[in-house]
């Protein structure tokens, strides 16, 4: 007598087993299809970025010399450099980080931990989420009317830093709220149970566990700000500048100076735009070299965000 396999015996004995098996096989097939589609969609972006970066490297790698980083822009392409551009980028990002990050992180913590759950808080949350998707040129127009003309800051590093700070604040607020929300409520409840105040719970328990997510959002926001051009052109960033602002730190009292906040400036994307708009191929090579610097800075900052999140999460014990 022929033996019957256990699976066939089970299907014959239990009604509906064959249908369940068919559903499982079908769903596994759809999982494979979704995985393939997701991989192809991801590959499109990665391959496009890689192709653009390789094109930049082929056009501008020969210009990446020490003189290129230590020379001012010039009408002669072979003598032109990005000294004023990368120094201006660093100073603008200092102002952006010093103003935008503390305000955004504080706002995110307040909205998640302290704000009452009413219609006003809901309205604020909706507007913050919407502001994260507003085009950067809108922030430039706002800054032109508010910082440049109304407050009288002029076309300065301070105006540029405040503009980019406003632009990254919604992104950092959303990232902060998500990081704080991911902290288990049991940690808060345990702290409250031993008599901790709300501030003590937030400072000693919620913040340490949410720092990896907050730091990632901050670095990604700053990486986005490095490549912005439209809002800075709107407020009057210079396309050609052959001098450096006063240094923030001096060797004579007072050792910290703030005159540089009112200086004219340029940044790497604007310098790159200036060279691209020129007809000579030598200037286009300079623009490609500046593009390499911008891409590398962005990749380094995003890579550092991933590394920092990984290291900080390893120290967390739930």
pLDDT for 13? 53
pLDDT for 16? 62
**pLDDT band at 102; cut points 50, 70, 90:** very high
Which of the two residues, 224 and 13, has the higher pLDDT score? 224
**pLDDT band at 106; cut points 50, 70, 90:** very high
* pLDDT higher than 80, residue 183: yes
Query: CA-CA distance, 53 to 47, in Å (whole number)?
Result: 10
The three-point CA angle 162-167-170 to 5° equals 120
pLDDT for 119? 86
Q: For 226-277, what is each residue's pLDDT tens digit?
A: 888 888 888 888 778 888 888 888 777 777 888 888 988 889 999 888 888 8
Q: Can you list the alpha helix ranges (DSSP code H) found in the chain?
A: 6-13, 17-60, 66-70, 83-109, 119-131, 136-143, 157-181, 185-193, 198-201, 207-226, 230-234, 268-276, 281-315
**pLDDT band at 1; cut points 50, 70, 90:** very low
pLDDT for 98? 92
Cα separations in angstroms, 202 against 19, 134, 142, 193, 213: 51, 31, 34, 14, 15
The model carries a pTM of 0.82
Q: Can you list the alpha helix ranges (DSSP code H) found in 132-257?
A: 136-143, 157-181, 185-193, 198-201, 207-226, 230-234
95 exposed, middle or buried (CB, 10 Å; 0-12, 13-18, 19+)? buried
* pLDDT higher than 90, residue 99: yes
Average pLDDT score over residue span 283-297: 89
* pLDDT higher than 90, residue 163: yes
pLDDT for 176? 92
pLDDT for 317? 57
Structure tokens at 139: 């922030």
Average pLDDT score over residue span 154-179: 91
Structure tokens at 64: 């990446």
Which residues are CB-neighbours of 131 under 8 A, at least 6 positions away? 169, 170
Task: Please choose, from the candidates 211, 195, 215, the residue with its C-alpha nearest in 3D space to the C-alpha of residue 203.
Answer: 211
Task: Indicate the DSSP class of residue 256.
Answer: B
Average pLDDT score over residue span 47-63: 88
Average pLDDT score over residue span 208-234: 87
Average pLDDT score over residue span 6-12: 53
The percent of residues above 90 in pLDDT, for the chain, comes to: 15
CA 134 to chain centre: 15
């Amino acid at each position: 007598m022929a033996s019957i396999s256990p699976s066939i015996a089970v299907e014959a004995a239990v009604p509906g087993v064959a249908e369940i098996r068919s559903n499982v096989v079908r769903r596994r097939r759809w999982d494979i299809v979704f995985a393939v589609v997701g991989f192809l969609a991801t590959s499109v972006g990665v391959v496009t970025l890689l192709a653009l970066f390789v094109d930049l490297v082929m056009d501008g790698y020969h210009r990446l010399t020490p003189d290129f980083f230590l020379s001012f822009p010039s009408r002669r392409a072979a003598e032109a450099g990005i000294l004023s551009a990368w120094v201006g980028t660093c100073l603008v990002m200092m102002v952006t980080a010093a103003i935008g990050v503390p305000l955004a992180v504080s706002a995110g913590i307040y909205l998640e931990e302290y704000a009452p759950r009413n219609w006003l808080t809901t309205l604020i949350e909706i507007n913050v989420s919407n502001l994260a998707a507003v085009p950067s040129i809108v922030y430039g127009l706002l800054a032109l009317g508010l910082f440049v003309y109304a407050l009288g800051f002029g076309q300065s590093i301070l105006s540029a830093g405040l503009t980019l700070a406003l632009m990254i604040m919604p992104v950092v607020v959303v990232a902060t709220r998500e990081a704080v929300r991911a902290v288990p409520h049991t940690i808060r409840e345990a702290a409250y149970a031993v008599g901790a105040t709300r501030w003590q719970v937030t400072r000693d328990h919620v913040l340490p566990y949410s720092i990896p997510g907050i730091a990632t959002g901050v670095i990604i926001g700053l990486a986005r700000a490095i490549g912005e051009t439209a809002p800075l052109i709107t407020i009057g960033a210079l396309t050609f500048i052959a001098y450096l602002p006063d240094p923030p730190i001096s060797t004579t009292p007072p050792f910290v100076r703030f005159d540089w906040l009112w200086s004219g400036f340029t940044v790497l994307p604007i310098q790159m735009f200036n060279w691209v708009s020129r007809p000579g191929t030598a200037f286009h090579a300079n623009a490609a070299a500046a593009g390499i610097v911008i891409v590398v800075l962005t990749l380094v900052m995003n890579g550092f965000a991933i590394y920092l999140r990984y290291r900080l999460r390893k120290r967390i014990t739930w």
